[in-house]
Structure 1
Amino acid sequence: MSDDMTGHNSNDPAVGGIAADRLRSIIERAERLESERKALGDDIKDVFTEAKSAGFNVKVLRQIIRLRKQDPAHVEEEETLLDIYRRAIGM
């Protein structure tokens, strides 16, 4: 079936009320950002590989990064509770 039979031409700026150029732009931006996210993920993986080869514990490094993102008061509260719980069970 040709474009003429459907009533739409592939060169129309809008099809069914959708602005094709705008839609294409949004899709391409999302694709580019997904690609950048993958590249950043690979870079982060490389940093942790480097840390591991330097003798650092990657699991602990990830915990530190997670803690640094949190509010210091919240971290202190969690650490206090953890200490209390440890003492309560004899650790």
Structure 2
Amino acid sequence: MSEPNIGHNSEAAARFSKEQLKTIIERIERLEEEKKTISDDIRDVYTESKGNGFDVKALRTIIRLRKQDANEREQQEAVLDTYMHALGML
């Protein structure tokens, strides 16, 4: 006794998998393009800020610090101060 539609079911599953894979790839490609556009926009803002006399390195540091939790930032600053004091830099 043979099972009906085994070939048909596997073909449908393969077609669904191919369609799903294609959709996933296209979504990733769209997001990658959006990411590139956003990166270009951020670079433009840094270029503009440099043209207005701001120190880009300092801006990047501030952005990084603002992403950190306040306690984490305080701990990092305390360690840095301790090391700088030990080296006679303060």
The TM-score range, normalised by the shorter chain, is 0.7 to 0.9
TM-score normalised to structure 1 length: 0.76
Which has a greater percent of strand?
A: 1
**1:42 Cα offset (Å):** 0.3
Q: 1:69 and 2:67 equivalent?
A: yes
- Runs of at least 5 residues in structure 2 that lack an aligned partner in the other structure: 1-10
Which has a greater percent of helix?
A: 2
Q: Which has the larger displacement, 80-89 or 34-43?
A: 80-89
Which residue of structure 1 aligns with residue 77 of structure 2? 79
Q: Residues 13-49 of structure 1: CA distance to partner in whole angstroms, max 9, x if unpaired? A: 758x352222221111111111100000100000100
Q: Residues 39-68 of structure 1: CA distance to partner in whole angstroms, max 9, x if unpaired? A: 001000001001111111111111111111
* Identical counterparts, % of pairs: 54
Instruction: Tell me which amino acid in the other structure corresponds to 2:67.
Output: K
Q: 1:33 and 2:31 equivalent?
A: yes
Which residue of structure 2 aligns with residue 60 of structure 1? 58
- Runs of at least 5 residues in structure 1 that lack an aligned partner in the other structure: 1-12
**RMSD of aligned Cα (Å):** 1.7
Instruction: Tell me which amino acid in the other structure corresponds to 2:32.
Output: E
CA distance in 2, matches of 1:71, 1:88: 26
After TM superposition, which residue ranges in structure 1, 4 or more long, deviate above 4 angstroms? none
TM-score normalised to structure 2 length: 0.77
